[in-house]
Amino acid sequence: MKNFQENCGLFGICSPDACVQDIYQGIDFLQHRGQQYCGMATYGDEGILQVTHYGKVANTMTDTDIAYLKGRSGIGHVSLKERQPVMWRSKLGEVALAFSGNIINAKALMQEMMARGMVFYKGYHIEIISMIILNAGDLVSGIAALAEKVKGAYSLVVLSQEGVYATRDVSGFRPLCLGRGEGRFAVSSESRALHNLDMELVRDVRPGEIVLVSPNGFKTLKQLPAPRPAYCAFEWAYTASIDSILEGVYVQEARNRIGAKLAQRDLDEGGLTADIVAPVPMSGIGHAIGYHIQSSVPYQEVFLYNRYADRSYTQSTQMAREQMAKRKLSVLRYAVKGKRIILCDDSIVRGTQILHKVKDLKQAGAREVHVRVACPPLMYPCDFGISTRSYDELAARKYIPKGNIACMDDLRALENWVAENIGADSVKYNSLDDFVAALGIPEGELCLKCWNGMHPE
């Protein structure tokens, strides 16, 4: 489990009619959150029925699967790492569970459980969560026990005879929201799945809240003490789909504001003349549009996005990431030759992909390439979700081995070093203050550990 990484999408629904088509579409609309595994489970007259596959929803779920999954309530999952939902027959009845997140103390929990005679198949984090829940007196008590025992992040859906239980950890690291429409009640990692199923976004599940989604609607069964929210800021910059709303903030608007901050810095500091501003698709688009609006530099696509490729950042190995990056984008040469280009990207993690993008543009005849990065430099591994697992993966740490960026002079020195290493004419990141201001969410409600190293308390 040392290299375990998790990025997942969750969906659950209770419907007056067969729900499998809604689950299928729901997780298909969340496919950007994980492309390697998918699964669905439903509850009907035959109890829980389950199907999981290696691959994308549309490529692997068959008509036979759809016909098999009978029931009016169910859950679905897309993942980077493993097959979910998992199904159990227990003293609490038949249940199926799926989660998104990362358990920091997974190894210690599993060792403690095995010492008490519990067994594990592969030691997946969802197994640990399942054992904690199913060994309690009831599902609500078991879900509540996660807050006491688990260190880390989780959003969770549990399918049972009563409906779909939904919860978030007490800090709310991973997103989860509720929706309704035409007698249907649903829970989803992102609102885009609800909107595209003609459902209304009702609200976000509160950190530490345990909600039952049933044919009667939503019922808060328990609200655990929640010290303060710690929403993952990276969701708005990269992970979430641009048509989603998280914690009341439109992802598209947040990205536009983030890009506008980059443009304003260039305007304030002066000395840059460019012909076009362009994105690294897809997550760079919102940032580039924001830069364009603020600066009045013409917007122009310079890469053709291969819609059949996956997100390179959410691949499970570096080799897979690099191969996917090469498949994902090709240069629009007519738009590039002789141009001074401002290239907007969401983040620089390892630096390999942006190096190739700059090289591709220069080889296609770009006169200058100025890279503008929405996120501040990533300085710390992520404990709570996908992102990185070691300092060795972070490009910024190759220049600043220890400590933080204390002032703008530190940031500019790093930017110059990055520009030299990737072959760009210049590189600028958003400062952490500008990035947070652009999100429109108070700093005290965000997890910024990737940038400042501070674990939310």
Strand residue runs (E) in 55-182: 73-79, 86-90, 93-103, 152-160, 163-168, 177-181
Strand residue runs (E) in 130-261: 152-160, 163-168, 177-181, 184-188, 200-204, 209-214, 217-223, 231-232, 245-246, 249-250
Q: Which helix (H) or strand (E) holds 118?
A: none
Secondary structure of 13-67 as H, E, C letters: EECCCCCHHHHHHHHHCCHHHCCCEEEEEEEECCEEEEEEEECCHHHHCCHHHHH
Question: Which tokens sit at 179?
Answer: 């929706």
Asked if residue 85 has a cis previous peptide bond (ω within 30° of 0), the answer is yes
* Ramachandran category for residue 351: left, alpha or beta (phi over 0 → left; psi -120 to 50 → alpha): left
Q: Using an 8 Å Cβ cutoff, are 251 and 239 in contact?
A: no
Sequence-distant contacts of 56-65: CB under 8 A, at least 24 apart: 56/31, 57/24, 57/27, 57/28, 57/31, 58/28, 58/31, 61/24, 65/40
List active site positions: 8
- Closest C-alpha among 331, 316, 330, 325 to residue 351: 325
CA distance 80 to 310: 11
